[in-house]
Chains A and B, each alone.
Chain A
Amino acid sequence: MTATDDDRRVDTGSPAVAELPDAEKLPEAVSLETEEGRRLASQLADEKTRHARKLLEVRDLSTQFFTKDGIVHAVDRVNFELDYGETLGLVGESGCGKSVTALSLTRLVPDPPGKIISGEIIFDGVDVMKLTNEEMRLLRGKRIGFIFQDPMTSLNPTLTIGFQIAESARLHLGLSNRAANDRAVELLSKVGIPRARDRMADYPHQFSGGMRQRVMIAIALACDPMLLLADEPTTALDVTIQAQILELIRSLSEEFGTAVILITHDLGIAAGMCHRVNVMYAGQIVETGVTDALFENPEMPYAWGLLDSLPRLDEERGAKLRTIEGMPPDLLKIGDECRFSPRCPYSREICHTDEPELTERGGADHLARCHGTEPGRGWIQ
C-alpha cells in the first residue's frame, strides 16, 4: 500500500482528481439518520485507515499578500498533518496566520492580493495545488466544510436558511429538490434547531446568533465532508452559547468521523476539544503536540506566556493580570531571527540572528521552535 501512496505523490502530470478514492461511488441520497448511512460512512473511514495515509498533509505552505506597502508574510513554511477523524487545534493571537492557513487549504485566499506562493497540500491523497479551479470547486462543500467566525454576516440575508442548506446537497450530491430539503430538515434538527421543518422558510435575521451558527454548521456538514474547518466558531457568541456550539461540533464530528481543524485564540477551547494542537505565531507554527502533553509541558516561551496569562481561580484577588509585553511583529518585515525574540524574556543573541527550527522535544510528537529549550544546547529550564 505504501508503494501506491508514493506513486500517487509522484508528479505524473495527470490530473490529480483521477486519484480520488472510492467515496465517489457513494449512492446518491445518503441519509445520515439511517443505520445504513452511518455504516457506509464508517466503512469509508475504515477503508481509508487501511490505506495508512493521513487525511491532510501540509508541507511548507507559504501564503503571502502583495500590498502597496510591501509583502505580508501571512503564512510562512507551515507543516502539519491531520488524521482522519482527528480534531486539530490551531491556536494563536489575532494576525498569527491561522485563518489564512485555513483559507489556503481550500484555496479561498482572495487573489489579489493574496497568493499561495509555495507548498504542498495533499488532501485525501489529492494534490490540492494541482487541481484546476473547477476541480477545486467540486472539493469544496462536498469534502471540506467551512464554518466562519461571524454568523451574523456569513449567511445570505435574502435567502431562506432552508435554501442555503439544501443548496450544497443539491449541487454536490445530486439530490432532487424534495430530497435536498428533507436532508436540510434532518440537518437542522441534528444541529439542535427545534421545529426544523417549520423554520426552513425562515430568513437568517429571524434567528439569534447562536442559532445562526448552528445553521452554519448544518450548511458545512450538508454533504458529510471529511474535513471541517471551523474558524473561531464561537468568538462572536455569548459565553453560555459557546459551550453548546462546541459540544455540537464535537459530537457531530465524532458521530460522522469528520476531521476538524479548530481555529481559536482561546486556549481553554483548544484544550477541551482537540486531540492535538498547533500553536502559531507570526505566520509560523512555533509548537505542536498532543494536547495534554503540550499543556502540561509547553516547551516554548510564547506558549508559557499564553498559559500564564490565563487568570487562575486560586490567585489572589487584586493581583495584576499577567500579559506578554509588546506586540506581534510587523509581517512586512521578516528577518532572519526568532520572531518572538523581541518579546521574549529569555532571549539571547542567537535568538536575534538565527531563526530556530521546529525540533523534537522528547519524541516525534512534540515539536517546538526555540533555541532556548533545544535539548542539549538550550539554556532555559
Chain B
Amino acid sequence: MAVQSTTLDRKVAERPPASLWRDALERLLKNRLAILGGIFVILLVLLAVVGPFITPYGYSQTDTQLIRDLRGPANPGQGGHLFGTDILGRDLLSRIMDGARISMTVALVVQVTVILIGVPIGALAGWFGGRVDNLLMRITDITYAFPDLLFIILLTVVFKDTWFGDAMDGLLLVFVAIGIVSWVGVARLVRGQMLSLKETEYVEAARAIGVPDRKIVTRHLLPNAIGPIIVAVTLGIPGAILAEALLAFIGIGANPPRASWGSLITDGQTWMSSEPHLLLFPAIAIALALLSFTFLGDGLRDALDPKLKGKQ
C-alpha cells in the first residue's frame, strides 16, 4: 500500500512566507489610528524640512503697520494671516511651523542621544553581567535619581555663552540635556533584552561555532532588540516634546525671536481672554503632535509584539 506521488500540481494551500517585518507591517497597516498618527508624523517631518521655504512670512517678520491699523494683534483671517498674528504682527502660522521644526528636531536629537548612550550601556550591562552590570546599573541609578529639571537648567546655564550653548539658537544644548537625562529607560530595555536573549539556544549555537562575542551581540542580539527599541523611541518622543514645552514655560530653550510651541503657548496664555487664537493654535498643534506619536508608537508596539507572530 505504498503511497505514490499524486496530482500535486493542484495548489491546495497557498500562503506567502512570513517574515517578522512583513507580518509587522501588515498588522500595522490594519491599525487605523496608527496610520493616522503615522501620516501626521510624516506631515510634521515634511513641514519641519520644507517649512521655512513655503511660509508666506518669516517667523520673526514683524508687521507694526498692521498692528497699528488693527489696534492689536490680528485675528485669524485678518490681513492675510491665516492664523492671525501676535502683538508684534508676526504671523502665527509661520511661527507654528517654525515650532514644528523645533519639535521635530527635539524628537530627533533627543532620541539619537538616548540611543547613543542607552543602547551601548544596556547592551554591555546585559551581555557581561556581573561587575560590569552592577557598575553600569549604579550609574543608571544615579542618573535616574537626578532631578531632571535641575540638571537641564544647570547644564543650560553652565554652557550658556559657549558655542555649544548658542548652537541652533540655544536649542541644541537643551535637546542634548534632555537626552542625557532620558536614556535610562532604553538602557534598561536593552539590558533586559540582552539578559533574556543571552540564554537562548541560538546564541549557544553561535558560540559553539566560534562566533566572537562582539559579533553575537551586534549580529544576533541587537537586531532582535530593535523592535522594542523602536517602540520605546517612538513613545518617548511625546515626552521629549513635553519636556521642551515645560522648559519653555520657565524661559529656557529657544532664544527669541525663535518660537517653539512651548513658548508660543506660554506667551499665548497672557492673551487668553482677548486673543484666544494665540493660545489655541499652538496648543492644538502640540496636541496633534503628541497624539500622533503616541498612536503610532502604540501601533508599532502591537505590530511588533513577538507573541502575536503568526496568530490572527
Report A-B touching, CB under 8 Å: yes
Chain A residues lying within 8 Å of B4, measured Cβ to Cβ, are 345
A327-B15 Cα distance, complex, nearest whole Å: 12
A328-B10 Cα distance, complex, nearest whole Å: 12
Please, which residue of chain B has its CB at the minimum distance from the CB of A331? Answer: B13
A304-B3 Cα distance, complex, nearest whole Å: 9
**B309 smallest CB distance to A (angstroms):** 15
**A135 smallest CB distance to B (angstroms):** 30
Which among A304, A325, A328, A330 is the interface contact of B6 at CB below 8 angstroms? A325
Output the residue of A305, A322, A323, A326 with the most chain B CB within 10 A.
Answer: A326
Is residue A33 within 8 Å, beta carbon to beta carbon, of the partner chain?
no
Contact of A329 with B12 in the complex, beta carbons under 8 Å = yes
A200-B182 Cα distance, complex, nearest whole Å: 45
Contact of A326 with B3 in the complex, beta carbons under 8 Å = no
- Contact (A326, B2) CB under 8 Å given A67-B312, A342-B7: no
Contact of A327 with B6 in the complex, beta carbons under 8 Å = no
Contact of B312 with A342 in the complex, beta carbons under 8 Å = no
Is residue B5 within 8 Å, beta carbon to beta carbon, of the partner chain?
yes
Is residue A81 within 8 Å, beta carbon to beta carbon, of the partner chain?
no
Output the residue of B5, B10, B13 with the most chain A CB within 10 A.
Answer: B13
Flag A301-319 by CB within 8 Å of B: 1 or 0 each: 0001100100000000000
Is residue B8 within 8 Å, beta carbon to beta carbon, of the partner chain?
yes
Contact of B3 with A324 in the complex, beta carbons under 8 Å = yes
Chain A residues lying within 8 Å of B2, measured Cβ to Cβ, are 308, 322
**A267 smallest CB distance to B (angstroms):** 15
Contact of B10 with A342 in the complex, beta carbons under 8 Å = yes
Is residue B1 within 8 Å, beta carbon to beta carbon, of the partner chain?
yes
Contact of A326 with B1 in the complex, beta carbons under 8 Å = no
Contact of B13 with A329 in the complex, beta carbons under 8 Å = yes
Is residue A205 within 8 Å, beta carbon to beta carbon, of the partner chain?
no
**A335 smallest CB distance to B (angstroms):** 12
Please, which residue of chain A has its CB at the minimum distance from the CB of B1? Answer: A304
A326-B3 Cα distance, complex, nearest whole Å: 12
Please, which residue of chain A has its CB at the minimum distance from the CB of B5? Answer: A325
A113-B14 Cα distance, complex, nearest whole Å: 22
A342-B5 Cα distance, complex, nearest whole Å: 11
Contact of B3 with A325 in the complex, beta carbons under 8 Å = yes
Please, which residue of chain B has its CB at the minimum distance from the CB of A344? Answer: B6
Contact of B8 with A325 in the complex, beta carbons under 8 Å = yes
Is residue A343 within 8 Å, beta carbon to beta carbon, of the partner chain?
yes
A327-B6 Cα distance, complex, nearest whole Å: 12
Contact of B3 with A328 in the complex, beta carbons under 8 Å = no
Chain A residues lying within 8 Å of B14, measured Cβ to Cβ, are 330
Chain B residues lying within 8 Å of A304, measured Cβ to Cβ, are 1, 3
Please, which residue of chain A has its CB at the minimum distance from the CB of B7? Answer: A342
A327-B13 Cα distance, complex, nearest whole Å: 7
Chain B residues lying within 8 Å of A342, measured Cβ to Cβ, are 6-7, 10, 12
- Contact (A328, B8) CB under 8 Å given A67-B312, A308-B3, A345-B3: no
**A155 smallest CB distance to B (angstroms):** 18
**B192 smallest CB distance to A (angstroms):** 18
A114-B209 Cα distance, complex, nearest whole Å: 47
Contact of A327 with B3 in the complex, beta carbons under 8 Å = no
**B139 smallest CB distance to A (angstroms):** 32
A329-B10 Cα distance, complex, nearest whole Å: 11
Chain B residues lying within 8 Å of A113, measured Cβ to Cβ, are 312
Chain A residues lying within 8 Å of B3, measured Cβ to Cβ, are 304-305, 308, 322-325, 345
**B3 smallest CB distance to A (angstroms):** 6
Chain A residues lying within 8 Å of B312, measured Cβ to Cβ, are 67, 113
Chain B residues lying within 8 Å of A327, measured Cβ to Cβ, are 12-13
A343-B9 Cα distance, complex, nearest whole Å: 10
Chain A residues lying within 8 Å of B10, measured Cβ to Cβ, are 326, 342
A308-B13 Cα distance, complex, nearest whole Å: 23
**A96 smallest CB distance to B (angstroms):** 13
Output the residue of B3, B8, B312 with the most chain A CB within 10 A.
Answer: B3
Contact of B13 with A345 in the complex, beta carbons under 8 Å = no
- Contact (A330, B1) CB under 8 Å given A343-B6, A344-B6: no
**A283 smallest CB distance to B (angstroms):** 14
A305-B6 Cα distance, complex, nearest whole Å: 13
A305-B10 Cα distance, complex, nearest whole Å: 19
**A181 smallest CB distance to B (angstroms):** 34
Chain A residues lying within 8 Å of B8, measured Cβ to Cβ, are 325-326
A113-B312 Cα distance, complex, nearest whole Å: 10
**B254 smallest CB distance to A (angstroms):** 48
Chain B residues lying within 8 Å of A323, measured Cβ to Cβ, are 3
A328-B312 Cα distance, complex, nearest whole Å: 19
A342-B9 Cα distance, complex, nearest whole Å: 9
Chain B residues lying within 8 Å of A308, measured Cβ to Cβ, are 1-3
Contact of B5 with A330 in the complex, beta carbons under 8 Å = no
Within 1-47 of B, Cβ neighbours of A (below 8 Å) are at: 1-8, 10, 12-14
Given A308-B2, A324-B3, A342-B6, 15 additional A-B pairs, CB 8 A:
A67-B312, A304-B3, A305-B3, A322-B2, A323-B3, A325-B5, A325-B8, A327-B12, A328-B12, A330-B12, A342-B12, A343-B12, A345-B3, A347-B6, A347-B7
Interface residues of A (CB under 8 A from B): 67, 113, 304-305, 308, 322-330, 342-345, 347
Interface residues of B (CB under 8 A from A): 1-8, 10, 12-14, 312
What are the 5 closest A-B residue pairs judged by CB atoms, nearest first? A330-B13, A342-B10, A345-B6, A327-B13, A327-B12
